[in-house]
Structure 1
Amino acid sequence: MKLPDFEAWAVFASVVEHRSFSGAADALGVSKATVSKAISRLEQRLGTTLFHRTSRRLTLTDSGRGLAERAQGILAQGQEAEEAALDAASAPAGLVRVAAPLTFGSKRVAPLMAEFMAAHPGIRIDLHLSDAFIDIVGEGIDVAVRIAELPDSSLRARRIAPVTGYIVGSTAYFEKHGRPRHPADLAHHACFAYTNSAHPDAWRFRKAGGEEAVVRIEGPLRTNNGDAMLAALRAGLGIAVLPDFIVRDDLAAGTLEAVLEDWSMGSSALHLVTPPGTLRPARVEALMEFLAVRLKENCSEYLSPA
């Protein structure tokens, strides 16, 4: 039996991580031709195409997407073995790719990245900010910051703290249109839809006593970013559901007010999510531990009690 082509698997994982042959070549310190030959060698051995290649774009095939997680596991195990063999005093180094929601990422995660890099000069950060759902395995993400009720999956998730959401509008809006007393009242209000949620046009509520309600909402604004709703909310154009870290200042200033506070829209929490597998390179582990501590410390004013 022939031994697995570990080099080709590692090259494949690097191409997935850097999303290009040239990026992988630079990271590995080899030529682009060497990377291309390794991928071709692996494809021939596996009998399948791993990438769709065009002059402008490189994307994983279905087969490549299914194998990316295994390749990254092979690379991570090799990296961990090498790092474990190095002097324990040596500092972790290399690239860590991080994904976070746009608003929370720019306000709370980006400043922490600066602090982390200052303390770990050997580690480089590739920070991706977006409210869109990201396939962290397919995109080669090492750590994702997610604020959601996470579905069951093979991904590893570390819960940091619950996040409170509020149903908010301006005082002027409520004085003109009335304050909803029951979720069913929202069907007669202008409600803004957050399009990155699973059901943007159906708001689900639950009361402490067990009563539940589902409301179909309509309104003048649909957007994939919570911050984008603030101007329209302040102008009295409607109602929205937003997390505390977006509306906290407006609630404190009185420009917005919360309604239906005795109803819940489900549990949501801040998580750190990583690809499957038990092994992580030291640089990723270092960032995970840093974020777990600093997010809880620095963001306590935005988070519910754990």
Structure 2
Amino acid sequence: MSQLRDMRIFSETVDAGSFTAAADRLGLSKQFVSKRIAALETHLGARLLVRSTRQLRVTDLGLAYYERIQHILQEVDAAEQMISNQTATPRGVLRLSAPMTFATMHLGTLIPEFMQRHPEVTVELALNDRTVDLIGEGYDMAVRIGTLADSSLIARRITDSQLVACASPAYLDRKGVPEAPEELSAHACLIYGHTQRSEWTFRVGDRTRKLAVSGPLRANNGEMLRDAAIAGLGVVVLPDFILADALADGRLVEVLDPFRPGGFTVYAVYPQHRQTSLLVRAFSDFLVERFSEAGTRRSARLEGVIA
């Protein structure tokens, strides 16, 4: 058995946190993974992992060994990828996590297009607004929105988006158009999320200001809040990719334009050990390409509506 393969098995086990999870990722049996790591420990003459019925713990020597072999494995992967990229096409399973609303509005059409380009690709898509543990839960990559926490993940910008405050014409006729963020205290606000204290951020002069808001509806789905705003239930602040069509056809009208809250970035993120994957890189390239085209169209449409 190749020592290099045993290194890979050990590295995957540390990443996954268990023999079972590592075996699932590698397509091997749990017993085989355990056996190969035991053989590696015998070869090295050192204990790398401490096994118990409840958890798997990496020893200090095991952690030092893990950190050293990452460079080796990445160099080997890069060398193999350099050769295979000359003739290879993306194939295999792409395990992808993405936020619910963003995925339903955009990835539902883009993923089939990508798969038609690359018929040997299978996609396993999980829609979830929580921040998943890519390594621990076995994902190849994820789409994430907003500020990224410090981590060892590789992040690639896909597109930018802008938060827009808006309401229906009927609601504004009934309740009046707010001229400053402070006036929202007299308005029904439709709130994303379920935190105890709800705040919206606006730009006042050269500073940002957070204001507490309240209203009749909270939800963790942007499309539902958009539709509630269209129905005249109140004011909503959502990303422009959710609101663009409703703003374009007049079902919603932007308010507080001079105080627009800040925008944010949409990223493709993936673990370092996946950065040489042809499939991950191909899908990332595809998203950048398609969102660049869509962003140009959306900006032109929005500028025409809110100019």
Q: TM-score, normalised by structure 1?
A: 0.77
Which whole-Å deviations, capped at 9, do the CAs of 1:44-72 have from their partners, x for residues lacking one?
A: 9334459957xxxxxx9899xx99x9698
Q: Give secondary structure in 2 for the equivalent of 1:133.
A: coil
Mark the CA change 1:20 to 1:201 in structure 2 (over 3 Å): closer, same or farther. Answer: same
Q: Give secondary structure in 1 for the equivalent of 2:106.
A: helix
> Could you tell me whether the CA contact under 8 Å between 1:96 and 1:283 is conserved in 2?
yes
In the alignment, structure 1 residue 46 sits paired with structure 2 residue 42: no
Mark the CA change 1:104 to 1:96 in structure 2 (over 3 Å): closer, same or farther. Answer: same
Q: Give secondary structure in 2 for the equivalent of 1:88.
A: coil
Among 193, 210, 213, which residue is 1:214 paired with? 210
Deviation at 1:216, TM superposition (A): 0.5
Mark the CA change 1:98 to 1:77 in structure 2 (over 3 Å): closer, same or farther. Answer: farther
Code of the residue aligned with 1:84 in structure 2: it is M
Q: Give secondary structure in 2 for the equivalent of 1:109.
A: helix
Which whole-Å deviations, capped at 9, do the CAs of 1:71-129 have from their partners, x for residues lacking one?
A: 98876655444333447213233222222221221222232222222222333222222
> Could you tell me whether the CA contact under 8 Å between 1:105 and 1:129 is conserved in 2?
yes
Mark the CA change 1:31 to 1:136 in structure 2 (over 3 Å): closer, same or farther. Answer: closer
Deviation at 1:138, TM superposition (A): 2.9
Among 116, 123, 126, which residue is 1:125 paired with? 123
Deviation at 1:293, TM superposition (A): 1.0
Which whole-Å deviations, capped at 9, do the CAs of 1:199-229 have from their partners, x for residues lacking one?
A: 961112113x315432111112122110121
Mark the CA change 1:52 to 1:127 in structure 2 (over 3 Å): closer, same or farther. Answer: farther
Among 268, 274, 284, which residue is 2:280 paired with? 284
Which whole-Å deviations, capped at 9, do the CAs of 1:156-175 have from their partners, x for residues lacking one?
A: 22223321221111122222
In the alignment, structure 1 residue 156 sits paired with structure 2 residue 154: yes
> Could you tell me whether the CA contact under 8 Å between 1:12 and 1:39 is conserved in 2?
no
Q: Give secondary structure in 2 for the equivalent of 1:164.
A: strand
Separation in 2 of the partners of 1:268 and 1:242? 11
Deviation at 1:176, TM superposition (A): 2.0
In the alignment, structure 1 residue 203 sits paired with structure 2 residue 220: no
Q: CA RMSD in A?
A: 3.8
Q: TM-score, normalised by structure 2?
A: 0.76
Partner of 1:224: 220
> Could you tell me whether the CA contact under 8 Å between 2:13 and 2:22 is conserved in 1?
no
**Which runs of no fewer than 5 residues in structure 1 stay unpaired?**
54-59
Alignment of 1:23-62 (within 5 A): 23-24=24-25, 26=27, 30-38=28-36, 45-48=47-50
Q: Give secondary structure in 1 for the equivalent of 2:111.
A: helix
- The share of aligned pairs that are identical, in percent, is 35
Partner of 1:171: 169
Code of the residue aligned with 2:280 in structure 1: it is V
Separation in 2 of the partners of 1:171 and 1:62? 60
Q: Which has the higher helix share?
A: 2
Mark the CA change 1:256 to 1:134 in structure 2 (over 3 Å): closer, same or farther. Answer: same
Partner of 2:305: none
- Give the number of equivalent residue pairs: 289
Deviation at 1:36, TM superposition (A): 4.8
In the alignment, structure 1 residue 91 sits paired with structure 2 residue 89: yes
Which whole-Å deviations, capped at 9, do the CAs of 1:185-204 have from their partners, x for residues lacking one?
A: 1122221221189x961112
Partner of 1:6: 7
Code of the residue aligned with 1:228 in structure 2: it is M
Mark the CA change 1:293 to 1:282 in structure 2 (over 3 Å): closer, same or farther. Answer: same
Separation in 2 of the partners of 1:96 and 1:205? 38
Partner of 1:57: none
> Could you tell me whether the CA contact under 8 Å between 1:179 and 1:259 is conserved in 2?
yes
Among 128, 131, 134, which residue is 2:132 paired with? 134
